[in-house]
Homo-oligomer: A and B are copies of this chain.
Amino acid sequence: MSDRLIDTRALEAALAEFARERDWDRFHNPRNLLLALTGEVGELAEIFQWKTDAEAEGVMGTNEAEHVRQEVADVLLYLVRIAMVLGIDIDAAVRNKIAMNARKYPPLRDTGDQT
């Protein structure tokens, strides 16, 4: 689809198989996954909690970079699982929300080329 913004189909298939191979579907209900998502967002926040903005912006040049990548991935994985168990089409939801945001927050007028 030419207007697809995000493609999670291969990831969803991989996560479905991953859960099935471990008999984890019985744990992956919406409230459990929301608590797990909260936990992973907390782990990501902890990496940044005592950093200045400058330190935070430079974190990927430090030995914490791999930790940041792992926590970002963990948040994403649980979010995709939530969408999966709820039957949400992630790409459609994202495109719709961006369209809503664009109506709510119109672009600044470009006044730079008025000649």
Q: Mark A80-91, 1 if CB is under 8 A from B, else 0.
A: 101101111010
State how many copies of this chain the complex holds.
4
What is the bound-complex CA distance between A93 and B60, given in angstroms? 13
A-B pairs with beta carbons under 8 Å apart, 27 shown: A5-B10, A6-B6, A6-B7, A6-B8, A14-B98, A15-B98, A18-B98, A21-B107, A22-B108, A30-B53, A31-B35, A32-B49, A34-B44, A36-B46, A37-B41, A37-B44, A38-B42, A38-B45, A39-B42, A41-B41, A41-B42, A53-B53, A57-B85, A70-B97, A72-B82, A72-B83, A73-B96
Residue of B nearest to A86 (CB): B60
Contact of A42 among B14, B43, B52 (CB under 8 A): B43
Tell me the A55-90 residues at the B interface (CB within 8 Å). 56-57, 59-60, 68-70, 72-77, 79-80, 82-83, 85-88, 90
